[in-house]
Structure 1
Amino acid sequence: MGETKLMYVVDDDEIFHFIIKKLLGQQSGYQHTLDITSFHSAEDALEQLRIPGAPLPALILLDVNMHSMSGWEFIEAFRPLRPTLPQEIRIIMCSSSMDVRDMQQVAATPELSAYLTKPLDQSKVKVILDALG
């Protein structure tokens, strides 16, 4: 096995956390060990990213619509933090929204590597694994 890759799942839906862990746990042939940390709020994930010396994720899977802080608000708060971090963190936004405005906003947001719609399937899981490297 290769190195361990850390991934944050930031979503206020407990069922989504279960599903993503199940889907990613079933992947055979992935060369790295995957460590998934769940956050039910964007604020908690940001707080973790701000801890000096804490392990940083290679990827954040971020929901658009959450109760207290949206995925878009997370991106705005992450933007000034990003240059202070010792490694690049890819962000994939994940939502059940097919709203054209969201798609346009994704295209205009350089912090985002991809936008995936729920429910996830094997082709979308491949996008996540490819982003992890």
Structure 2
Amino acid sequence: MNKLVYVVDDDEIFHFIIKKMLDQEADNVVVTSFLCAEEALEHLTSPTQPLLPSLIILDMNMQRMNGWDFIEAFRDIKPSLQQPIPIIMCSSSIDVRDMQKVQRTPELMAYITKPLDANKMKVIGEFL
């Protein structure tokens, strides 16, 4: 059975790279790309959405709605979802305050810095 992964990031090049790396890392993974967080939230709450993602890979810094805003909105819809969905935050930020905030955010399973490499892909693979 295919596993659905949402990639929420405003960088189209990142979408291309992570799709290639996920194809190499895991079997039966289908990636759905969202260039804005609002669109991903709409998909999660859509009554016509038959399959929930097994994992969300979320960028921290995006236009309009950033990763932290997404988490806030996700908390509101989480009780209505039929299954828990782990979220991995992926960002170029190496700010200690961001990493501390990740540790205080129960929805986030991991924090990965860009650029991706084989070790970081292994962390993602653990949640698939």
Query: Structure 2 length normalisation: TM-score?
Result: 0.96
Partner residue of 1:94? 90
Per-residue CA shift, 1:54-96, capped at 9, x if unaligned? 1110100000000110000000000011011001101000000
The ranges of structure 1 where at least 4 consecutive aligned residues each deviate by more than 2 angstroms after the TM superposition are none
Alpha-carbon RMSD across the aligned residues, in angstroms, is: 0.9
State the distance in 1 between where 2:86 and 2:125 align: 12
In structure 2, stretches of 5+ residues that fail to align are: none
The DSSP-based 3-state class of the residue aligned with 1:76 is: helix
Query: Structure 1 length normalisation: TM-score?
Result: 0.92
Identity of aligned residues (%): 63
Corresponding position: 1:81 with 2:77: yes
Partner residue of 2:114? 118
In structure 1, stretches of 5+ residues that fail to align are: none
State the distance in 2 between where 1:130 and 1:106 align: 18
Partner residue of 1:46? 41
State the distance in 2 between where 1:75 and 1:26 align: 28
Corresponding position: 1:56 with 2:52: yes
